[in-house]
Chain A
Amino acid sequence: MDWFYIEGVLILAGINIIAVLGLSLLTGFTGLFSFGHAGFMAVGAYTCVYFGERLGLPFIAAVIAGGLSAGLVSLFIGRLTLKLKGDYFCIATLGFGEAIRLLLDNLQIFGGARGWPGIPPKVDLTTVVIFSLLGIIFLVFLINSRHGRAMIAVREEELAAKVMGIDVYRYKVISLFISAVYAGVAGGLLGYYLTFLQPKLFGLQKSTEYTIMVIFGGIGSISGSVLAAFFLTVLPEILRSFAVWRFVIYGAAVIFIMIARPQGLMGGKEITLKGITSILKKPGKNRAIRSGEV
């Protein structure tokens, strides 16, 4: 295994971490399931590359523009769907994701179904690490703020959140917006890493993968989402020598974890500095992982 290959896997893991962090805010902390996140990623990817290559924006500006346009689309979608109850919202996002993919399949200015080749490679490991770290830090601060607590309240008991004076609809919109921006940024990075975009990349399978990662990591845990995104990106690569069997093993691994730990890897807990130091101080005793939502 050469470094080029390993670096590639790590970059993909980092991109997935960014997308999963966003979905984690929506699903893990606000309690809304989305099966259309690949759609937001696609919007981000195509607009980012469009701004960067056709309009000549610098790379960072293009990535931000991609993220924001995914966010803008989410505001529009959110207005239409966020008043729906949980299950219906989930189905609406599924429809949205597929609609975006079909739209891109037929938009010839973006290359249609044939894809958009020849994008210059502008993403390396450092870029992805910086973006992921920024993503993690922002989310940690958000979750531990008054707004984060309000989102968790919406997840826990929507009606109670309402009678506490929390504007439930507004927080759902904000949560969807931020999570779409994360997906859009991840999409932009993906485009500039792969140097090729194709609507097929952003199908239902991608959305499902991200939802699996969030649940696998544990609902309501940022560290869980990061770990799961990393682990589930790397796992199929490690299994590459099993050829066609690798996705069977991948599936089995996911099922096994969900049976053994239905609450996910981290089960709503977080890895914190405090937790790590107290583990180091008294080994074996007290797993000392602080509860996440304090």
Chain B
Amino acid sequence: MLEIKDLHVYYGGIHALKGVSISVEKGEIVTIIGANGAGKSTLLNAISGIVKYREGSISFKGEPLPKLPHLVVKRGIVQVPEGRLIFANLTVKDNLMLGAYLRSDVNGIKRDLEMVYELFPRLKEREKQMAGTLSGGEQQMLAIGRGLMGNPELVLMDEPSLGLAPLMVQTIFKVIKDIKSMGKTILLVEQNAYKALATADRAYVLEQGRIVKSGRAQDLLDDPGIKESYLGVKVNNRG
């Protein structure tokens, strides 16, 4: 479904992605794990058209993907950005409606709003509240819900568990599975490698701008190298 070949991204003189190739098939959850600064968010932003890539190609459903953010969304790829980035001074409902900005099918929007409220009953309760007054976990729900309102085929998720309480992390990962069962495809970037690998079907390991390992998520979970570098780090850091 999504095919990235030999992607190079530079920030000024810094070579952030050094020839990354990945693929995502329809209906699967693919995760990209890696340390801070490995280039995970850069990869998602390159797909979304937020950062420009100098070399390489991205194709979606067999056609080259446009390089401007609003055209990417039109093709059915929506990013749930890192740090939520909700519209703090708008109501929860307005936030969700902005997610459907490019759509004009009133009935479809209505149905998806119901679907998001079903997925996150908490958002329904707080429909008229200013989004900035929500808790961190609720804001993450809102960011995911807002992304789903665009009716994407592929959802790009950037660190959805960042800064959340353990219980909320459980909820978010359960929701990611629910979204998959709706028939959507998910590309997930996470620092919480254990959770990500336990949820995903396949995984790539990104280190300093290069893919160093890939395979079935379950296999990587049992890989001794991964265990030491990523799962070990996680235990020490997060307690």
**Which residues of chain A have a CB within 8 Å of any CB of chain B?**
146, 149-150, 152-153, 156-157, 159-168, 220, 268, 291, 293-294
Contacts and interface: CB of A to CB of B under 8 A. Distances in A.
Contacts of A294: 91, 94
B79 A163 contact: yes
3 tightest A-B CB contacts, nearest first: A165-B73, A160-B85, A156-B87
A149 B147 CA distance: 17
B98 to A, nearest CB: 5
B202 interface: no
Given A149-B94, A156-B90, A165 B85 contact: no
B74 interface: yes
A157 B89 CA distance: 10
How many B residues touch the partner, as a band?
20 to 34
A149 B91 contact: no
A164 B150 contact: yes
Interface in B155-182: none
Contacts, number: 76
A168 B79 CA distance: 16
A149 B79 CA distance: 20
A149 B50 contact: no
B91 A152 contact: no
Chain B contact residues, majority secondary structure:
mixed
Contacts of B115: none
B99 to A, nearest CB: 6
A162 B88 contact: no
A163 B94 contact: no
A262 to B, nearest CB: 15
25 contacts: A149-B90, A149-B94, A149-B97, A150-B101, A152-B89, A156-B88, A157-B85, A157-B87, A157-B88, A162-B49, A162-B70, A163-B73, A163-B78, A163-B79, A164-B78, A164-B98, A164-B99, A164-B146, A164-B150, A165-B69, A166-B101, A168-B69, A291-B130, A293-B90, A294-B94
Nearest to B90: A293
Interface string B142-155: 00001100100000
Given A157-B85, A293-B90, 19 more contacts: A149-B97, A153-B98, A153-B101, A156-B87, A157-B86, A160-B81, A162-B49, A163-B48, A163-B78, A163-B79, A164-B73, A164-B101, A164-B146, A165-B74, A165-B102, A165-B150, A166-B70, A167-B68, A268-B89
